[in-house]
Structure 1
Amino acid sequence: MSKTGRDWLKHVPTLPDDPTHPAQIALRTYAVALSLSLGPSIVPFITAILFPKARSSSRTDFEALKRVLRRELGHDGFAFAITLSVAGGAALRQHLWCALRDQDQHENPNSTGTPDKQNSNNSNLFSSLADISNSLKGCVSWLTPVQQTFISYLLSSTVGIFLIQAGRERTSRLNAQARSSSQSLTSPTLDLTLLVLVRALDSLVQTFILRRPVSPVGASSGEGSNHAQKTRAGVEPQLVYERLEKEKVKRENDIRQQWTSQVDAFVFWACSARIMWCFFYEPQRLPRSYVKWINTLANLDGRIIDVLKHIRKGTWSYIAGSPQHHRLLQASAVDLGLPAAWGDPTVLPAYGGSIANEAWKKLGVFNRPGVGGIPCEILHAEVGSSLGLTSSCTANASLRTLKGFVEALAIYLPVHFLPVLLTRPQILMRPHRLLQTLGGAVRSATFLSSFIGLYWYTVCLTRSLVLAKLFPFVSHDFWDGPFGCILAGSLACGSSIWIENGRRRGEMALYVLPRAVRACLPDAWIKSGNRGVKLAERMAFILSTSTLLTAAIHRPDSLRGLSRWTLAFVTNGPNAGFWKRKRQDPSMPATPSIPPTPFLLPQVR
């Protein structure tokens, strides 16, 4: 390289070493946000390149790729807007308030925060500007650091939500034009807002529940004396006292978190019940990707879901028949190699008892004594067909549970091992830690597979094995309706959360809660597109984002799970918090008489 080139490089600004510098925060935030938004969007294009035969010309061509890149890399893309919200707030927090404080002290050394009126003889315009400036200066003296941080992120996240909504609305408008359809009035950022809102509310609850950790000696006073002076001041005994106090705080917080895990389990149970009920009857209330994922795990014929919806509407009935939709289950029965009459509502018994037994003799069904409704063979589909167990409800639930366990294990193995590989891979060399991590993955897979098995078996217990036999006079329009077996299965499946680890219950509850809240909001209100809905969503996003980012700086112990991991990395860098074990400060005196406690190490929740 020439001398001129080397001289030019000297003038190029370098990235500051401080991980909390706004430039460093901006780089980390943009990398994380872009991976979350652009990563899933380019998967179809990568698939089209690897498998050219399955390529879709309309969705994976070059023009579609340009639209995706424009959406995600533009100034109104998700990555840039989130980076502006996070890094912009950090810049305001680090520079705005310091500049105002320095200016206030320079101009008014004896100022107490009262606005200056020296410019009262100037024109009205300059007087107003001076009043605003002096008011901001005065705020510095009575606003706490937490309030200053919150206001900084409040300003930056306001700009961020406007950018995100503008970009998503433009994309929605272009997609509607390409499909020659009307643009949806539902906010494209609603799911993101609910996600942030739930995490922020959880942070507030955790702040209220958990005791604040003890601050180290001299952390707030900024004392800079040497070790000998600290010893004469009696700091070493104070360190011992602080270590004991930290252990006490840890014990109290552990007890409180045990109670919190029970509340988390209840929240998950209630949310999963609502979500599963909506999956069958109102799937439009749930994200499409979530509906697709549940449908994959459920492995249920879509025509059965259609029949369940018709039963709810009264257009498919065991009592009144179904003139327009009676062929739905007949087609399913034929596809399974069963008589078409097994899916005909006009011949299926509506009630149990002796009437049902006579009907089953005519239809050739011998495994439903005393109950009516659709034969279980149609619901079970091909599960257990190779073993000749399609008519067994117990075998159906067991086989589905086993299949779900294998699929869930493939999901949870990376979930449990990747964080360890990214942070402390060396601990996997210890056999007991390796088995502990593997046991966690098996436990999580057992939870998810039990979720599936409980749903199926509860449905069969309700409509075939127990309740329908106890009450044969109740029509199967009820047992197969929205408040019969479907409701019973929805209420039962979420109880599998008690299998999961107590700390992971909270993360699971926070995962399903935004979707359950979305499923409870009135459709008419969400799809109205009026200004009141937009304003409410914007306020929720701004306040929630500011709360989360403020908590990440001042109360990181109030964050849990993914929000704690992500915000710790974004705001403090990869060497902060539980991303890397902190080394002991050499300036602090050692206390070998008291061994280090687990509380002193970062706790992943």
Structure 2
Amino acid sequence: MTLTTALGARRRKWDGAVPPLLRPLVRAYLLGYASAVAPRLLTLLLQHLTRRRTAADSPKRNGHHNAQSFPDSLLAILRGGLDPRRFPAFCAAVVGGSTLLELPLRAAFNKLAGSLSNVARIRLSRWFASFIAAWLGLRLLQSKQSAGFTEPAPVRPDSHLDAGRQESRYAGRTLDLTLFAFTRALDVIVGELWTRRKAHRLASQRWTRLEDAISRLVDPAVFAVSSGLIMWTWIYNPSRLPRAYNKWIGSAAAVDPRLIEALQRCRSGELQYARDTGQGRLLGAMCDDYGWPRHWGDPAVSVPFPCEVVHMGCGPSCEVHAVSRFARSFRWAMATYLPLSLLLAVRSPNRRGLIKALFSAARSSAFLGAFITLFYYGVCLARTRVGPHILGKHVEARQRIDGGVCVGAGCFLCGWSILLEKAGRRKDMALFVAPRALATLLPRRYDLSRQWLETAVFAASTAVVFTCVLENKARVRGVLGSVLGSVLEP
């Protein structure tokens, strides 16, 4: 029995009683519920275990409230997933709606567009069914108000309305989801066009090495550009990134926040070299903490700051600092990747699986370590090794380097560490960071009157992806294609 046959038989055991037309809806709802509830349940469990351990270490502490609140919190999470305006219902509406609407739309196209081929009518019915379902599904998700996207509206003194009931609502809560769908649709369209071009060029024996290199480098390039944009935003405009994303990058980068603030002030012009603008205290305090001469942190005296300040205690050598960064980042990443890899290896506990898990964790840790190292070394290249020889060593050049050029160099280099990962992982990671990079270019909140445009982009993008999955599942790359293919099949 093949793996596909075994998986199919296993699925029929639990959804065999469901009518074929409703199976995609049921699968989508259960998958959405699991993805929405499982992470919150895991977090709650870890918090509960931590509290119990703390209570055991401190017998005087009253743990009765925590013991009572755990079942209540558990029930609240399970009930929250059933809210009709949350992610599980959204998944069911999009997937189930596209399935249920396809047949009546196909019948309508058979009557109204009889001159079209049967294949064209099927594609049109699938696209419009998915478009309508995605539009309604996203509107359902957008109907739930969020505290971050509402605020009290200003009330005129002569107004007789209750000021407490007035509020301004903003759109943007579903922007990340829309950008995810948009990048996936763009990947499908560009990938299909490129595949047809390649087939035509190969048939005519005109496929070149340059085109082959482009095929292999497009995913690393997308990741590098996206990562660079995200890192630039993290340095200069962190409010455009989600809070959890900011926190994770800060933890991985392990940088003194005073150094980040100094770079921000250099770019804004608040901190200027060879001029006393009252900024000496910022890095002056950092110099005191690290045992450096205090004048290193005074921009009126030190033009520029010594690169040792960027190294944060690793000595004056940029190369030694790079090696040290890689070693520390590799250890930090292994603490995350190794347990996950070993957990996956438990499914087939043998020596080969263990070795594979170790190599997988080491490879991913090397990628992340190289990412962080290349960012810092890019900064050093621009500040010390290469930048001054190209842009000059005068005050204006130093200001320009620390005002953005050095960070830009780090952002340009860091993402190319993706070449250390396997080709299969590169495409998944590129498609993961691309929508997050696009989000840095758009406002996190915008006027509610323009929400229809976001909804239209999401609906059209989802329609493209769903139509492609039903006709050529392999064209939707990565894990998403496999998941949607298994959900949408009868």
What's the TM-score once normalised by structure 1's chain length? 0.64
Equivalent in 312, 315, 326 of residue 267 of structure 2? 312
Tell me, yes or no, if the aligned pair for 2:113 and 2:121 is still in contact at 8 Å.
no
Identify the residue that residue 83 of structure 1 maps to in structure 2: 92
Whole-angstrom CA distance in 2 between matches of 1:415 and 1:258: 33
Could you give the per-residue CA deviations for residues 254-311 of structure 1, whole angstroms, max 9, x where no partner exists?
Answer: x988743311122222222222111111112222222221111111111111111111
CA contact (8 A) 2:280 2:299 kept: yes
Instruction: Quote the residue 1:378 is aligned against.
Output: 309
Q: Give how far 1:67 is off.
A: 7.2
What is residue 5 of structure 2 aligned with on the other side?
Answer: none
* 1:461 paired residue number: 381
Q: 2:297: which partner in 1?
A: 343
Residue 136 of structure 1: how far off its partner (Å): 9.7
Distance 1:496 1:36, change over 3 A: same
Q: CA separation of 1:271/1:510 partners in 2, compared to 1, >3 Å: closer, same or farther?
A: same
Amino acid at match of 2:36: S
Question: Residue type matched to 1:485 in 2?
Answer: C
Superposed CA offset, 1:206-250 (max 9, x none): 2233369xxxxxxxxxxxxxxxxxxxxxxxxxxxxxxxxxxx9xx
Cα distance between partner residues in 1 of 2:167 and 2:72: 22
Could you give the per-residue CA deviations for residues 420-447 of structure 1, whole angstroms, max 9, x where no partner exists?
Answer: 87xxx55x7584x765565444333322
Q: CA deviation at 1:188?
A: 0.7
Q: Deviations over 1:10-47 (max 9, x none)?
A: xxxx9652889344333332232223333344555334
Alpha-carbon separation, structure 2, partners of 1:572 and 1:142: 18
Asked if 1:293 is matched to 2:267, the reply is: no
**Offset at 1:414?**
6.6
Q: How far did 1:183 drift?
A: 6.7
How many angstroms apart in 1 are the aligned matches of 2:445 and 2:488?
36
Secondary structure of the residue that 2:447 maps to in structure 1?
Answer: coil
Q: Which has the higher helix share?
A: 2
1:156-175 correspondence runs (5 A): 156-167=133-144, 169-170=145-146, 172=148
SS at match of 1:472: coil
For the residue of structure 2 that corresponds to 1:570, the secondary structure is: helix
Paired residue for 2:449? 531
Contact 2:110–2:121, Cα closer than 8 Å, also in 1: no
Q: Quick one: distance in 1 between partners of 2:350 and 2:35?
A: 31
One-letter amino acid of the structure 1 residue matched with residue 381 of structure 2: L
Contact 1:22 1:91 in 2 (8 A): yes
Query: 1:498 aligns to what?
Result: 419
Matches within 5 A, 1:13-92: 16-17=15-16, 21-52=20-51, 72-92=81-101
Q: Does 1:519 align with 2:464?
A: no
Instruction: Please show how residues 3-402 of structure 1 align to structure 2 within 5 Å.
Output: 16-17=15-16, 21-52=20-51, 72-93=81-102, 96=104, 100=107, 144-167=121-144, 169-170=145-146, 172=148, 185-210=170-195, 259-323=214-278, 325-348=279-302, 350=303, 373-382=304-313, 389-402=314-327
**TM-score when normalising by structure 2:** 0.78
Partner SS, residue 319 of structure 1: coil
In the comparison of the two structures, how many residue pairs are matched?
445
Q: Equivalents in 1 of 2:167, 2:263: separation in Å?
A: 29
Structure 2 letter corresponding to 1:450: A
Residues 260 and 140 from structure 1, CA distance in 2 versus in 1: closer, same or farther, beyond 3 angstroms? closer
Give the Cα separation in 1 of the matches to 2:167 and 2:38. 28
Deviations 1:288-337 (Å, cap 9, x if unpaired)?
222221111111111111111111111111222332x4322122222223
CA contact (8 A) 1:271 1:512 kept: yes
Pair 1:64–1:540, CA change in 2 (3 A): farther
What corresponds to 1:509 in structure 2? 430
Q: Could you say which residue in structure 1 is the equivalent of 2:467?
A: 550
Q: 1:435, 1:267 → 2: CA distance?
A: 31
Where does residue 407 of structure 1 map in the other structure? 332
In 2 relative to 1, CA 261–35 (structure 1 residues): closer, same or farther, beyond 3 Å? Answer: farther
Contact 1:153 1:546 in 2 (8 A): yes
Structure 1 residues 184 and 463 mapped into 2: Cα distance closer, same or farther (>3 Å)?
A: farther
Aligned-pair CA distance for 1:175: 9.3
Q: 1:480 aligns with which of 385, 402, 420?
A: 402
Q: 2 CA distance for matches of 1:259 and 1:312?
A: 35
Q: Which of 1 and 2 has greater Rg?
A: 1
Structure having greater relative contact order (Cα 8 Å, sep ≥ 6): 2
Name the aligned partner's letter for residue 308 of structure 2.
Answer: E
User: 2: distance between equivalents of 1:430 and 1:466?
Assistant: 47
CA distance in 1, matches of 2:477, 2:146: 34
Gaps of 5+ in 1: 1-13, 102-111, 115-134, 213-247, 351-372, 383-388, 574-605
CA pair 72-320 structure 1, distance change in 2 beyond 3 A: farther
- 8 A Cα contact 2:28 2:91, kept in partner: yes
The 2-side partners of 1:159 and 1:312 are apart by: 44
Q: What per-residue deviation string (whole Å, max 9, x for no partner) do you get for residues 459-487 of structure 1?
A: 122212343367322542222111x2111
CA contact (8 A) 1:264 1:506 kept: yes
Is the CA contact 1:157–1:542 (under 8 Å) kept in the aligned structure 2?
Answer: yes
Quick one: structure 1 residues 347 and 501, their matched pair in 2 at CA, closer, same or farther if it must change by over 3 Å?
Answer: same
C-alpha distance in structure 2 between counterparts of 1:70 and 1:282, whole Å: 37
**Using a 3 Å threshold, how does the CA distance of structure 1 residues 267 and 189 change in structure 2: closer, same or farther?**
same
Give the Cα–Cα distance (whole angstroms) in 1 for the partners of residues 224 and 149 of structure 2.
38
Distance across 1 between alignment mates of 2:250 and 2:411: 14
